[in-house]
């Protein structure tokens, strides 16, 4: 029997580094062929029971075909056991083919794997319903990735209680409603991805009280409105993507000489502020401000941003001479066009 190639067996290296080794189907078969005939099962019986319940709740999808009750669940695809305790610490169900027949809501029994540190559902178009409330019980979780699925309903408030979370990725789903302000209590968060949903309301003021430096914030492709909170002056995320929303007002709080932010994309909003006096961090690698109503001129300080590799201020209301120097002439006309009265290289010279 051929098992689906999309749901890998993951094994984290013993050094707990970010390296993840993937074992393909042949590796799995090799393990089966050369294991002792009467192998002793490492898998915790309670965990095994819960996994079989999950499989049943999903109506025996092809992706979980390797979950055979007669074999050690530590050898099953899509799961991983802790090397010493042998408790299930990772459940990673992902598909690379769109025609996967895994369907329905996330089963409540997912909440009965108390040692889970990683939970992932990825590229499962028939996964529906809300973010399962029993996930609130999984207090050891460090990583949640529920992305490219059709889960709907709100971004639940209970996620704020999972204080070990480092990565929370709920991107490319059908989530709606506001962003819970409680998420700022997640003091270990490195990255927050809520992009590509149908979220409404403001960016919470509380996001300025994330423990410094604060997580990278991916909130693009939603319907977020209102101002960018002034409190965001207090945090220093590596990356900010607020593009394609309905944000208004001032974005200058995202910048400032003392920050170390590298990537900022606030394109395609309704931001309106004077760019002239903004002090940009020299750490910037990419800055995209296109399609807003930004006024003023391009500050000379930008010529000191030595590693700027992406830059776009097109479709705004900027005026005056483009400062000459630094990397600003490495970008072509399309980074500057459709403004009120910008001039100078790479645009036509100011007369």
Ligand X SMILES: *[C@@H]1O[C@H](CO)[C@@H](O)[C@H](O)[C@H]1NC(C)=O
- Interface residue list for ligand X (CB under 6 A): 59-62, 101, 103, 125, 128, 148-150, 152, 172, 174, 176, 256, 258, 290, 312, 314-315, 334-335
Q: How far is the CB of 290 from ligand X (least distance, A)?
A: 4
Sequence-ordered list of residues with C-beta below 8 angstroms from that of 58, at least 6 positions apart, any chain: 64, 102, 103, 104, 107
* Of residues 80 and 335, the one with the C-beta less far from ligand X: 335
Place of tokens 């900027």: 318
Let me know how long the chain is.
351
Token code pair at residue 169 = 């990725």
Residue closer to ligand X, measured from CB, 261 or 312: 312
Q: CB-wise, 11 or 150, nearer to ligand X?
A: 150
Of 131 and 186, CB closest to ligand X: 131
Token pair 């059709």 in the structure block, residue: 150
Alpha carbon separation from 9 to 5, 21, 41 (Å, rounded): 10, 8, 17
Query: Do residues 231 and 208 make contact, with C-beta atoms less than 8 angstroms apart?
Result: yes
Rg (CA), the chain: 24
Q: Least distance to ligand X from the beta carbon of 288, Å?
A: 7
Least distance in angstroms from the C-beta of 193 to ligand X: 14
Angle at 105 between CA 102 and CA 107, to 5 degrees: 95
Provide, rounded to whole angstroms, the least separation between the CB of residue 93 and ligand X: 14
In terms of CB distance, is 148 or 207 closer to ligand X?
148
Identify the three-state secondary structure at position 240. strand
What gap in Å lies between CA 176 and CA 329, rounded to an integer? Answer: 42
In the numeric block, the tokens 């690379």 are attached to 96
Task: Give the max Cα distance, the chain.
Answer: 87
CB of 127 to ligand X, least distance (A): 8
Q: Residue 28 or 62: which CB sits closer to ligand X?
A: 62
């Amino acid at each position: 029997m051929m098992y689906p190639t999309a749901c890998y067996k993951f094994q984290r290296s013993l050094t707990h580094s970010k390296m993840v080794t993937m074992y393909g189907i042949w590796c799995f078969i090799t393990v089966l062929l050369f294991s002792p005939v009467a192998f002793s099962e490492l898998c915790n019986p309670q965990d095994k029971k819960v996994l079989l319940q999950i499989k049943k709740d999903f109506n025996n999808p092809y992706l979980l075909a390797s979950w055979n009750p007669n074999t050690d669940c530590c050898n099953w695809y899509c799961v991983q056991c802790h090397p010493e305790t042998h408790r299930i610490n990772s459940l990673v169900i992902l598909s690379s083919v769109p025609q996967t027949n895994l369907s329905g809501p996330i089963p409540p029994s997912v909440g009965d794997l108390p040692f889970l540190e990683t939970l992932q559902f990825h590229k499962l178009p028939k996964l529906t319903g809300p973010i399962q409330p029993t996930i609130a019980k999984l207090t050891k979780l460090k990583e949640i990735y529920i992305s490219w699925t059709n889960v709907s309903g709100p971004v639940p408030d209970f996620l704020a209680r999972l204080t070990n979370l480092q990565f929370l990725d709920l991107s490319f789903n059908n989530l709606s409603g506001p962003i819970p302000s409680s998420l700022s209590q997640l003091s270990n968060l490195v990255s927050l991805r809520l992009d590509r949903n149908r979220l409404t309301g403001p960016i919470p003021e509380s996001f300025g009280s994330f423990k410094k430096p604060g997580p990278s914030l991916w909130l693009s492709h939603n319907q977020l409105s209102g101002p960018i909170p002034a409190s965001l002056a207090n945090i220093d995320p590596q990356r900010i993507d607020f593009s394609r929303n309905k944000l208004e007002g001032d974005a200058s709080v995202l910048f400032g000489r003392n920050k170390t932010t590298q990537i900022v994309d606030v394109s395609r909003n309704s931001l309106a502020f004077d760019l002239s006096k903004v002090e940009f961090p020299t750490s910037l690698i990419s800055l995209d401000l296109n399609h807003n109503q930004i006024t003023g001129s391009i500050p000379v300080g930008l010529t000191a941003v030595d590693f700027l590799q992406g830059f776009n201020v097109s479709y705004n209301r900027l005026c005056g001479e483009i400062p000459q120097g630094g990397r600003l002439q490495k970008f072509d006309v399309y980074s500057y066009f459709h403004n009120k009265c910008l001039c100078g290289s790479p645009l036509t010279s100011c007369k």
